[in-house]
A and B are shown apart, each in its own frame.
Chain A
Amino acid sequence: MTTVEANITITEIMSPPLQTKGASHDELSSTHADGHNRSQKWDFWIDNYLVEWGRNPSLFDTTEIKPPSKSIIHLACRLARESRDAGLAPPLRIVPDGEGGISFERKSESGFQSLNFLAEGIVELLTFQNSKLVARENFSVPPLFMD
């Protein structure tokens, strides 16, 4: 398993390294209808989850978990909007990690990825293939997005 420290843009994080049946990124986002569906799905996650978590932390049972922090929600929203606007595929689901962080999870025939926004401000991308964690990449977060 490789562990990499990378200086990379947020949009590059969300570019799909997991290809579906060998289709290129262009093929995946080739039609206007596909692009509209993707945009709608991103908006679904942004409006019904990320924004709501910021507005209403009581949605969670705080006796068991720590809700995502506002700074992490802000960062995740920014990435989600940039990814939507870039026409990238939305995640399978967006999940709080229970400790103030958020994960974007994606699954395809070639594997599974989890983009984790950790509460301490680190962003990491975990890649699983054939039931193995094959890569853990860490990305620096600009101080602007920290509390």
Chain B
Amino acid sequence: MKENEPRKIAFPRYAEYNCAIKYILEQGLGAKCIVPPKLTRRTLELGARYSPDYACTPFKTLLGSMIECLEAGADTLMMVYGLCKLGYYGELEEQILRDLGYEFDFLNLAVYDTGKKRDFLKAAKFVNPRFSIRKLALAAMDAFRMAEYLDEVTGELYQNCGFQVRPGGYEAAYQTFLNALYAADTKAEIEVAHQAVKRAFLEIPIEKPVRPLRVGIVGEFYTAMDEFSNLEVEKKLSGMGVEIHRWMTVTNRMIHYPGEKNLNVKIRDLSQYEMGPTSTANIWAARQYAERGFDGLMHIKSANCTPEIDVMPALQAIAQQNRIPILFLTFDSQSSDTGLMTRLEAFYDMIQMRRKVIQ
């Protein structure tokens, strides 16, 4: 890295949230953000080749994406941490990449998690020694707003796109929206993109029954949200004519999280304490869906995700108490589209036939 030149910093692909990360890095810290290429089978193969086999699949996907970021010209990589094995992933990924001979600076946010919030400013300093706190705070607020809009619009997409009269309208409007978010440099541009997609969605004709089939998705923080990692499960299922609800999003978990204690009140009979980053929220969400009379539940996790394995018995209990079908899906680097389609079609047939009998 040359003096006085902004860092070319990259965060591995995480669903579509990279647009918000890009916004903070560029508008808040004055760095140049390299947006990682879309995840493909090559990404996963690259990651799986250099990862320990028993790491969870997101580790492999993230590692592959980091390699693709470096190939795209990034000189600095950034990694977050979390309440599961994720806390150690940054360190491990850095070591693997260095062993492979890549040269880069590494910003591992886990290092700055000292218990004192102000230590995170050191991370900002690492990106840009002359950053302005005011600019960073403003950009962070805009980026949060961007992520909120992204989650809101994505949710609306999968609740409605299965019922559009002519296929493709929702997807096209959504893609335009994403492009606008990645290109946005100001708060005004974010607001305009949001208004435009809402208007576009309203104009798309849909034919939705009064009580459509509804499926609630719960699951792991990466695989449940990233459409490459879950083989587009939401797109496939909604395309059959199902309204899909997924509470688990980045903004719901990180910004609007009601707190473990508040959620636990509703599920104390099933779980007394937090078992991982998302377990309480997932059990709580599943119970919400079941009690609201949804037609089915779906649990999505990657292979070797320990916290989500712990959630499964509680979900089984919810399914039995509320007599609601639940489908458990596990994804790894070998998962096939065909196998997923078989299970989804069967799930759809089941909830549809079941609905006819119940009513």
Are A and B associated in one complex? no
User: Using a CB–CB distance below 8 Å, which chain A residues touch chain B?
Assistant: none
Instruction: Please give the residue numbers on chain B whose beta carbons come within 8 Å of chain A beta carbons, in ascending order.
Output: none
